[in-house]
Amino acid sequence: MMLVPVTYKGGIYQHDVVTDLIEDLGGYVVQKHVLAQEVVLQCFVPKDDIELIREISRPLFGEVTDSPLVGTEIAIVSPSLEIHHLPHPSCDIAEYTRRLGAKSNMVGMARGVGKRIAAINDEERDVINEHDIAVMALGNFEHCIEYKMPNLRRGIDVPIVLCGGPDKEALQKIVDPPVEGYVGNVGRFMHRTKEADELGKLDEIIAEITRVLEKKREEIAKDPLSVAPARLMNLIREKVPAILDVTSPTPLTVQMTGLRVKLPYDTFAPAIRKVEIEDGITIGDIAEVLPSRMRDYILIRVRPFSETNVVI
């Protein structure tokens, strides 16, 4: 059964019909937003059943759209948290990815600014590595990006999409070894992106992120995960009720190969390891439950089939 990420938008009236249907079909609701009279569900559903969901939600005026970024956590890396880079363009990119279903986090570096002095520290590196992909929003000068990029990417092993002022070709030429994705003509600017051509640029960034993530999905498909992270999310919600009291917008953040659980590691890690998935197999058996560098959260990394020899 192939699960695909989609977004469902519809009225709040009888939306539980849709939620139940998705769960009955073997899909997962990753995020649910209730905005006044409207409900937005970000979910994974079986590919063959999308038409069925459309059919059933038609009387409720529901709308099902593809959103390739659902179930991913994206790091938007900005050289600093100063007015030079925020809120534009870093926040604009972060917000745009969020609209398409991703969970994006801003990572503002302590000393990512300048040319010679640009550097990354171990905490930033580890936090970025906890994401599915890193989008680096750098500046306007070719020479500067060429000089500082080797420093900023040191130790980062997740795919990188580089955004910068020069053209895409120029970026490709100056970055060595190459990164996974490039978007040119999006450097530092100091105004909101609202013109059509600027929004087009944001779309281009999304397309590039999607392309890189698609490649990563293909890689994962070659050695599938022992369990779908979205399934773990539902399990933890059932078996560890403390998660229901967490006030973060996404107490459980689904990633492509894991899950971020926003509970303190020391208190809850043993309980999570012991959660049984099926037939006596626990989360601890098929996934690593690690302390996250982000606050004192828990990071679950699901191990692939080749390591565990089980797929459930």
Partner 1 sequence: MPAVDYFEVECDEKKGAEYYRQIANDVLLDHNLLRVIDKLHIFIDPKVPLFIATGTLKKITTRVRVRDFANINPQEGKMTLVISDETYLAPMLKIFWQRFGKERVDQPDRFTVILNGLSVDPKEIEEIVVADPSESVFKDLIYAFRCIAPEGFRIRKETYGSSRFSFVASENILAEDIDDLVAAKFALMGETP
State the nearest-atom distance from the C-beta of 83 to partner 1, in Å. Answer: 6
Of the pair 29, 144, the CB lying nearest partner 1 is at: 144
State the nearest-atom distance from the C-beta of 158 to partner 1, in Å. Answer: 25
Residue 30-59 contact track with partner 1, rule CB under 8 A, x = bound: ------------------------------
Residue 136-165 contact track with partner 1, rule CB under 8 A, x = bound: ---xxxxxx--------------------x
**Which residue in the block uniquely carries the two structure tokens 């038609």?**
58
Pick the piece of the chain touching partner 1 (CB under 8 A) from 31-39, 133-141, 210-218, 301-309. Answer: 133-141
State the nearest-atom distance from the C-beta of 200 to partner 1, in Å. Answer: 17
State the nearest-atom distance from the C-beta of 80 to partner 1, in Å. Answer: 6
Calculate ∠ Cα 154-96-77, nearest 5°.
15
Pick the piece of the chain touching partner 1 (CB under 8 A) from 30-38, 183-191, 227-235, 267-275. Answer: 183-191
Of the pair 55, 82, the CB lying nearest partner 1 is at: 82
By CB under 8 A, is residue 113 in contact with partner 1? yes
By CB under 8 A, is residue 114 in contact with partner 1? yes
Q: How far apart are CA 210 and CA 204, in angstroms?
A: 10
Task: Count the site residues for partner 1 by CB under 8 A.
Answer: 26
State the nearest-atom distance from the C-beta of 182 to partner 1, in Å. Answer: 15
Report in angstroms the alpha-carbon separations of 277 from 27, 155, 310: 16, 34, 12
Exactly one of 115, 211, 239, 301 binds partner 1 (CB under 8 A); that residue is: 115
Exactly one of 20, 66, 167, 169 binds partner 1 (CB under 8 A); that residue is: 167
By CB under 8 A, is residue 188 in contact with partner 1? yes
Pick the piece of the chain touching partner 1 (CB under 8 A) from 4-12, 107-115, 215-223, 242-250. Answer: 107-115
Residues engaged in binding partner 1 (CB under 8 A): 79-80, 82-85, 113-118, 139-144, 165-167, 187-191
